[in-house]
Amino acid sequence: MIVAAEGETQINVAQQVEHLENTASSLRGHVLDVKGLTIAYGGFVALAGVDLQVQAGEVLALLGPSGCGKTSLLRAIAGFVRQRSGQVLIDGRPIDGLPPERRQVGIVFQNYALFPHMSVAGNIAFGLEARGARRREIAERVDGLLELVQLGGFADRRPAQLSGGQQQRVALARALAIEPRILLLDEPFAALDRALRLDMQIEIKRLQRRLGLTTILVTHDQDEAMSVADRIAVMRDGSIEQLGTPVEVYDRPANLFVAGFIGTTNALPCTVLGWSNGAAQLRMQDGGTLALPTEVPPPAAGHNAILAVRPEHLVLHDEPGEGRFLVTLGLALPLGGQTIREASLGDGTALRLIEQRHGAIPRRSSQAWCGIAVGATPTLFEASSRKDP
């Protein structure tokens, strides 16, 4: 374990934690700007002129499928790759010319990247030693960080003696040791099992809020992004498709790609009949009609469209009625207090519905009539804009 030099008096751990929090508080207010960032690997363009601002103290999640550019964006901010064009700025000052070790950017990798031959304390102290910090300062910060990440008493252990969650805490403490202006998390929960992943999401959110760090989280897990982030940037093919709060992105997706990538959505083919009294008049696939309240004018009358509806916004009925369409029912599976039902339209379009379950799953005939729940807000897109995730 790292200790203070002889003759020096160590301040107690509580004071160390307070010092860390006070230091973090003084560093709050760091704003990250990415302007026109383009990155290419040979002929492949990984980022295509991305513009992004991360507000001070917020958690921004970069979410998207593999190869969409989210990790390239993170690595450019950290200084591990050079952009073809564009700028990265912190508090309005460009950092593009600085090497990674001078950017004051902390990063936690998916595999933690701990040094196996070093103790926990040695791993946390590494960045401070590289900067030439005094021995006493290193000892004080290591002890304070160990308490902050709830690993007091683990200083002398090696990474191989720790669980996955404990290794992640060490990696986080090492990133925090250098007092970063920006914290980058690159798929930090991917190697953990489901229960531990949830625990660590809560833990990192707690520490981020406590320290007020501006944080970017790269993930492909939509549930993780929805639960941890203040805002989400949904990416595809090197560009940002939509940027907004989790509620905005879920309830008002910008296009069918976002609607299908964030959560689950049902894409119902229909034809626009017109728009009047704040409602789009639609003809569904089975010939029935539906009035969809919307503040945004729909495609012109006669155009084919896609109605994107979340599974929890569909309701089954035993009888036909206004705004209901016929479906063929498939499997019904219990999931906690809910029932997940599969269904299909006459043209074979697959649907998924979520119902609240009370006791046993009720029996239904092979067919039912499906409608949209009162208060639900489906989104209407032109059929030509449909792009599956």
Confidence at residue 223, expressed as pLDDT on a 0 to 100 scale: 86
Confidence at residue 191, expressed as pLDDT on a 0 to 100 scale: 72
Q: Considering the chain, what is the average pLDDT of its residues?
A: 86
Confidence at residue 2, expressed as pLDDT on a 0 to 100 scale: 38
Measure Cα distances from 10 to 7, 14, 23, 140, 257 in Å.
Answer: 10, 11, 18, 7, 56
pTM of the predicted model as reported, rounded to 2 decimal places = 0.83
Q: What is the CB neighbour count within 10 angstroms for residue 208?
A: 22
pLDDT tens column, 331-389: 988 888 888 999 999 888 899 999 888 777 767 778 999 999 988 889 999 886 444 44
Report how far Cα 313 is from the mean position of its chain's Cα atoms: 23
User: How far is 15 from 91, CA to CA, in rounded Å?
Assistant: 29
pLDDT 10s digit of each residue in the chain, 389 long?
333 333 333 344 445 455 555 554 444 669 999 999 999 998 899 999 999 999 999 999 999 999 999 999 999 999 999 999 999 999 999 999 999 989 999 998 887 788 999 999 999 999 888 888 888 898 999 999 998 888 888 999 999 999 888 898 899 899 999 889 999 999 887 777 777 778 878 888 888 888 889 999 999 888 889 989 999 999 999 999 999 999 999 999 999 999 989 989 999 999 999 988 888 999 988 888 888 888 777 888 889 999 999 999 999 998 998 888 899 999 988 888 888 999 999 888 899 999 888 777 767 778 999 999 988 889 999 886 444 44
Confidence at residue 330, expressed as pLDDT on a 0 to 100 scale: 92
Question: Among candidates 283, 275, 257, which has minimal Cα distance to 381?
Answer: 257
Measure Cα distances from 176 to 29, 37, 122 in Å.
Answer: 16, 26, 14
Confidence at residue 343, expressed as pLDDT on a 0 to 100 scale: 93
Contacts of 211 (CB under 8 A, 6+ apart): 20, 21, 24, 176
pLDDT tens column, 167-214: 988 998 999 998 899 999 998 877 777 777 788 788 888 888 888 899
Confidence at residue 217, expressed as pLDDT on a 0 to 100 scale: 94
Confidence at residue 246, expressed as pLDDT on a 0 to 100 scale: 94
Confidence at residue 29, expressed as pLDDT on a 0 to 100 scale: 64
Angle at 235 between CA 310 and CA 106, to 5 degrees: 120
Confidence at residue 22, expressed as pLDDT on a 0 to 100 scale: 55
Confidence at residue 53, expressed as pLDDT on a 0 to 100 scale: 97
Q: Where are the beta strands (DSSP E) in 91-213?
A: 93-94, 105-108, 182-186
